[in-house]
Amino acid sequence: MTASIINGKEIAAKKRMEIAEEVNRIKNLGVTPGLAVILVGDNPASQTYVKNKEKACQELGMNSVLIKMPEEISEESLLSKIAELNNDPSIHGILVQLPLPKHIEEKKVIESISPFKDVDGFHPINIGRMMTGQDAFLPCTPYGIMVLLEETDISIAGKHVVVVGRSNIVGKPVGQLFLNKDATVTYCHSKTKDLKIHTNQADILIAAVGIPNFIKAEHVKDGAVVIDVGINRNEAGKLCGDVDFAEVSEKAGYITPVPKGVGPMTITMLMYNTLKSAAQSLNRN
Ligand code: NDP
């Protein structure tokens, strides 16, 4: 079997068109969605991510504000900037680009962002709301994965979903979102014994490990849906996922490529969350 490719780039483009239309609609009601991105230090990967977020905002007609702070900024100054943005009515989403320098406590920073403006979906209030099935800002990569499946008409209820990886930003929340949609969910991680036994039972397999080409054909059941979250460089310096695409695509039913799979969905859902926050602010006024 050769897998059907789930084209994240195309699905993201379709979603972005829908978002742009909605941005226009609420602009006519007097609100322009605004995203503030705080970048501390000059990590090159973070700079690229931040630039892409700004570009996406511009393309969709949203405002974006980039706040650059030096590496040695104090935690107190960062928190006071966030407090200012929390109170700024023109800002609907606040994102602090991670990782932060070691002298700043990440948890404290995340918790200082108003849950109403937490468009990354990392605040414990949003996580708790997601876990209890209430309306919440959903973390962007897991949310993007759910949209990919929805747009591909892949049903979830009753399916066995195996998630390899349990980070707070990808693995844990994506499993929760599948559970909310009535899947049976298994989490695997670095201490899991006999990984293959678990992954081979997956109707839907999510790889969020961070190891190039880690998931091989032997890990995958015939016809399974395989979602590759990984963004890695292989030995030749080429971008690759956590799934060995060449061999797994011969066995899976559906597969996401890297690039053009999950990646484009992450920023798209960030834009969606910012729009949602702006629309909610209209209802609060
Ligand atoms: P983390 O490093 O935070 O988590 C990796 C997870 O993989 C951990 O839970 C770890 O287990 C598990 N793991 C490591 N080794 C093994 C192993 N041998 N067997 C089974 N599980 C293992 O990574 P992230 O979740 O942040 O990211 C994962 C990948 O996704 C990365 O490549 C990252 O670049 C990419 N990514 C892509 C995004 C996108 O937009 N497409 C967004 C975010 C991330 P343990 O908990 O036991 O250590």
pLDDT band of 283, cuts 50, 70, 90: confident
Across the chain, what does the average pLDDT equal? 97
Amino acid at 277: S
Q: What is the pLDDT of residues 150-203, one digit of tens each?
A: 999 999 999 999 999 999 999 999 999 999 999 999 999 999 999 999 999 999
Q: What is the SS3 assignment for 194?
A: coil
Fold of 140-262: Rossmann fold (3.40.50)
- What would the DSSP string read from start to end of 140-174? HHHHHHHHHHHHTT---TT-EEEEE---TTTHHHH
Residue nearest to atom 8 of ligand 1 (CA): 165
Ligand 1 center–CA 32 separation, angstroms: 35
Nearest Cα neighbor of 31 from 58, 63, 65 is: 63
Matching CATH number, 30-117, of 3.30.465.10, 3.10.200.10, 1.10.3720.10, 3.40.50.10860: 3.40.50.10860
Helix (H) or strand (E) holding 274: helix 263-284
Q: What is the mean pLDDT of residues 62-91?
A: 98
Residue 22 CB neighbour total at 10 angstroms: 17
> Which pLDDT score, from 0 to 100, does residue 284 have?
77
Catalytic residue among 15, 81, 118, 120: 120
Residue nearest to atom 30 of ligand 1 (CA): 230
For a ligand 1 pocket test, name from 190, 206, 260, 270 the mutation site with the most ligand atoms within 8 angstroms of its C-beta.
Answer: 190
Q: What is the pLDDT of residues 38-65, one digit of tens each?
A: 999 999 999 999 999 999 999 999 999 9
Domain ranges of the chain: 30-117, 140-262
The CA-based diameter of the chain, rounded to the nearest angstrom, is 56
> Which pLDDT score, from 0 to 100, does residue 285 have?
66
Let me know if 58 is a catalytic residue: no
Catalytic residue among 53, 81, 172, 251: 53
* Ligand 1 site, CB within 6 A: 141, 164-167, 169-171, 188-192, 195, 208-211, 229-232, 262-263, 266
Let me know if 53 is a catalytic residue: yes
Residue nearest to atom 1 of ligand 1 (CA): 167
Contact present, 218 and 196 (Cβ < 8 Å): yes
Contact present, 45 and 99 (Cβ < 8 Å): no
Q: What is the pLDDT of residues 258-267, one digit of tens each?
A: 999 999 999 9
Ligand 1 center–CA 208 separation, angstroms: 4
The length of the chain in residues reads 285
Tell me the Ramachandran region of residue 258: left when phi exceeds 0, alpha when psi lies from -120 to 50, beta otherwise. beta
Q: What is the mean pLDDT of residues 88-114?
A: 97
Contacts of 141 (CB under 8 A, 6+ apart): 169, 170, 174, 229, 262, 265, 266, 269
30-117 and 140-262 share one fold: yes
